[in-house]
Structure formats: structure tokens, C-alpha cells
Amino acid sequence: MLNLIFFGPPGVGKGTQAARVAKHYDLVHISTGDILRAEIKQATDMGMIVKDIITAGELVPDDLLIELLESTCDKHKGTKGFVFDGFPRTIRQAEALDEMMERKQCKVSKVISLEVPPDELLRRLVNRAIEQGRTDDTAEVIKNRLVVYQKHTKPLIDFYKLKNIFVEVLGVGTIEGIFASLCNVIDNRY
């Protein structure tokens, strides 16, 4: 099984590239952001719980995300693997993902960090908010999300470097050029 994690702060292009990689390698793309937005839109119990958290740019509690992720993975038995987009975001989530993978008798193959300069991130996020009408991408929320990323998510770099599965890829350039770089990294995974 090929299981990939796309890593990086909001705006680096994780969603765009994760979807392309999933299609190219016939993997299941799991975007926690998309799943949570769908839960909110459908006004499910979980959606109502996380709506205020997401609107403020904070992280959804680990237990809720882990429950949602495992439920989503269980719906795709027999897959060639997964591309996780937006998960994990904390050490606790990474440990829970490892535990889940172990129960499924597989593991994370590679953690790919898309690297983009901060000024480019802000520009991308503001444009995305305008183009997609995403209310969770206001300037204030964007700045808070980047602070939350630095505080809670960036420590995952060392966690995955110790496992020798962390790779950085420049996330600036054409979508096709970045995709080609990602495929080179994935194809050289062993």
C-alpha cells in the first residue's frame, strides 16, 4: 500500500497536488478540510461542533478528527492506498494515524512537505478566499491559521524526519512542474 501525507501550511497547494497525485497513482484522496466543510454544509452533529472552531481558524480536537478519519478510511477497503491532505496536524494525530495504519497492517510511506515563501502563501490564500468564496480565509483567520500551524503542526517535521520518511518539495512554479517533482519523489520512495 502506498500511503502519502501532504504537509505544509495553508496555501501551499496541498489540495491541488494531493488530488492530482491520488488520481495518477489510483489512491484515495482524503482531505480533512473538505470532509469537515461537507459536515458543516450538511449540518450534521459533527458539523455543528466544528463550525465555530474552523471559522476561528483553530484546529479541530484530535479525537474528533481521528474518529472522522478512521470512519472515512474504513469506507475504502481494498484501496491501493491513501493520500492524506490536512492530516495529521499534531503529534497526537500522527501517533493515532500510525496506530490506525498498524491495525490495517500498513504504514505511512512518505510525508511530502510543500515549501512556499510566507508572502506567496498570504497572496495565495487571499486569492483563494476571493475565487472560492471561502469564508474561513479572511485576513485575520489566515494569520491565525499560520500561527497555529507554526505552533502545533511544524513539530511534526522532526517526528517524521526521525522515521526517515520526510521529504521537502518546492511548491512554487507551475502546477505541472510541481506535480512532476512530486512524482519523482514518490517513485523514488524505496
The rounded distance, in Å, linking the Cα atoms of 66 and 73 is 11
Alpha helices in the chain (DSSP H): 14-25, 32-41, 45-55, 62-74, 91-103, 118-132, 139-148, 156-162, 175-187
Domain that holds residue 127: 2-187
- Name the 3-class secondary structure at 155: coil
The rounded distance, in Å, linking the Cα atoms of 62 and 124 is 27
pLDDT tens-digit map of 39-57: 889 988 888 888 888 777 7
pLDDT tens-digit map of 57-79: 777 888 888 888 888 899 998 89
* CA neighbor of 149 nearest in space, from 109, 114, 101, 186: 114
**pLDDT above 90 (res 34):** no
Overall number of domains in the chain: 1
Which phi and psi angles does 149 have, rounded to 5°? -60, -50
pLDDT tens-digit map of 92-107: 999 999 999 998 899 9
- Name the 3-class secondary structure at 46: helix
pLDDT of residue 189: 56
DSSP states of 66-107: HHHHHHHHHTTTT-SEEEEES---SHHHHHHHHHHHHHTT--
List CB contacts of 182: < 8 A, sequence separation 6 or more: 17, 20, 21, 112, 169
**pLDDT above 50 (res 24):** yes
Domain with residue 62: its CATH number is 3.40.50.300
**pLDDT above 60 (res 179):** yes
**pLDDT above 90 (res 6):** yes
pLDDT-derived band at 19 (thresholds 50, 70, 90) equals: very high
- Tell which wins on pLDDT, 131 or 189: 131
Positions annotated as catalytic residues are 14, 89, 128, 134, 145
Percent of the chain with pLDDT over 90: 45
**pLDDT above 60 (res 28):** yes
pLDDT tens-digit map of 114-147: 999 988 888 888 888 788 877 766 777 777 878 8
**pLDDT above 50 (res 190):** no
